Amino acid sequence: MTTANPAVDPKAVEAQLLAFLTERIKAPVEPGDDLFRAGLVSSMFAMQLVVHLEDTYDIEIVGPELTLDHFRSVDAMTALVLRLSGKNDG
Amino acid sequence: MTDHTEHRLAVIGAGVMGTNITALATGHGVPVVLVDVDDEKLAAARLTVRQKLKHAQLMGVLPEGRGRGELVTTTTLADVAEATTVIEAVTEVTEVKNKVLTEVGGLVAPGTLVISNTSCIPVDEMATWVPRGDELVGVHFMNPAYLIEMVEVIRGTGTSDATMERVTALLSVLGREGLVVNDAPGFVINRLLHPLINRAAMLVQEGVASAEVVDGLLEGCLGHSTGPLRTADLIGVDNLADSLVVLHERTGDPECAPCDLMLQLVRDGHHGRKTGRGFFDYRKAAE
């Protein structure tokens, strides 16, 4: 028996990610917004998002999952977290 | 043209640039021996390189169908002897670079390409520290080296044509494009960039504008992708101050004497992104 992980609830993940991004970017974010502009700073932030998702949801983002498109929006990140959490649950 | 399997790199110095160059090379299938003075630093460097490789993959900048190059870490400088290229990436302090390059010169066989990832010390000065100065060339990798394709290649007055061919072949394998400049303190990029950053810091020190505003103006009005003070934090404020001292000593340009604010940040241990705080605070903010 395992404890239910709130991370696998799509609404909860979406709300957590929106709160995280709003704090970091210091601007309102919508779930479908494209978070990146071209340039180096945004690429550094992309890596921070990878680390954040891995630490927060106890997942490992490797191989073909490690692509910028999966971090482009809150929608895309939520889908990634759900997919990888599902795999973790076996 | 050469194949990536023909190259074996030794990188000396596991700091910001050493780990950057190691990630770039291993990500392009070239094996690397990474040397530093203590095991703790090397253990941290292995994690850093892994993270940088992840970042490179995330950004889609690694070649497909090429395996990762093996990474070996060591505290024994003699382990560089088998490398086809040695890249020196130690602190920008003349005495430190002199000691390392002198030792490397005694270890490597003739025909080994010796690269200094120097920031400001002229190649001709370093060429006197090695037995075969014609095999020494400067390559100024940018940070992050695995993301920025362009590098500044510094040809010393004694650098041979064969060395220039070898460095071009290596950069091609690493997917980098080099623009060649003649030797001078700071070369082109840092002769321009370092005084600019110093002046930007001075404007903050004088209360003319905050770091956010200085960077915001250069980004918004002049099209810089990263403002001068965020660039300083990326380089490392401590390294920048060292480089400015090198430039100031060799050019006499008063614009190159590191300003009080920069020296204070160094004293306080606020060295930029790598310590979590420099001109900006990275512990909470996204950028």
> Which numeric CATH code is attached to B9-182?
3.40.50.720
Distance (Å) from the alpha carbon of B54 to chain A's nearest alpha carbon: 8
User: Kind and range of the H or E element at B253?
Assistant: none
* Candidates B50, B51, B53, B58, partner chain A, best to mutate (most A CBs within 10 A): B58
Query: What pLDDT was estimated at residue B284?
Result: 61
- pLDDT of residue B285 exceeding 60, the answer is no
- For A62, A87, B88, the CA distances from B118, given in Å and listed in that order, are 34, 46, 8
pLDDT in tens, B206-228: 999 999 999 999 999 999 988 99
- Assign A29 a pLDDT band (cuts: 50, 70, 90): confident
Which CATH class name applies to A10-86?
Answer: mainly alpha
Could you tell me which of B84, B83, B198, B180 has the C-alpha nearest to residue B140?
B180
Query: What pLDDT was estimated at residue B1?
Result: 66
Query: What pLDDT was estimated at residue A5?
Result: 55
pLDDT in tens, A13-23: 999 999 988 88
Contact (CB<8Å) A66/B147: no
pLDDT in tens, B236-270: 999 999 999 999 999 999 999 999 999 999 999 99
Residue B98 in tokens: 């002199």
Q: Regarding the domain delimited by B190-275, which CATH topology (the fold level of the hierarchy) does it fall under?
A: N-(1-d-carboxylethyl)-l-norvaline Dehydrogenase; domain 2 (1.10.1040)
Residues of B in contact with A43 (CB under 8 A): 55, 59, 147
pLDDT in tens, B10-41: 999 999 999 999 999 999 999 999 999 999 99
Query: What pLDDT was estimated at residue B193?
Result: 96
Q: What is the mean pLDDT of residues B136-161?
A: 96
- pLDDT of residue B276 exceeding 50, the answer is yes
Q: pTM for the complete prediction?
A: 0.88
Sign of CA pseudo-dihedral B239, B244, B247, B250: negative
Q: Computed over its alpha carbons, how large is the radius of gyration of chain B?
A: 18
Per-domain boundaries in chain B: 9-182, 190-275
Query: What pLDDT was estimated at residue A72?
Result: 87
Could you tell me which of B126, B123, B124, B125 has the C-alpha nearest to residue B102?
B126
Does B58 contact A at CB distance below 8 Å?
yes
Q: What is the mean pLDDT of residues B160-182?
A: 98
Q: What is the mean pLDDT of residues B119-133?
A: 95
Query: What pLDDT was estimated at residue A21?
Result: 86
- pLDDT of residue B2 exceeding 90, the answer is no
- pLDDT of residue B180 exceeding 50, the answer is yes
Query: What pLDDT was estimated at residue B225?
Result: 84
Q: What is the mean pLDDT of residues B4-9?
A: 94
- Assign B109 a pLDDT band (cuts: 50, 70, 90): very high
Query: What pLDDT was estimated at residue A38?
Result: 45
User: Which of these ranges, A3-12, A63-72, B270-279, has the smallest mean pLDDT?
Assistant: A3-12
Contact (CB<8Å) A40/B285: no
Per-domain boundaries in chain A: 10-86
- For B15, B220, B271, the CA distances from B210, given in Å and listed in that order, are 29, 15, 18
Angle in degrees, CA B145, B24, A55, rounded to 5:
90
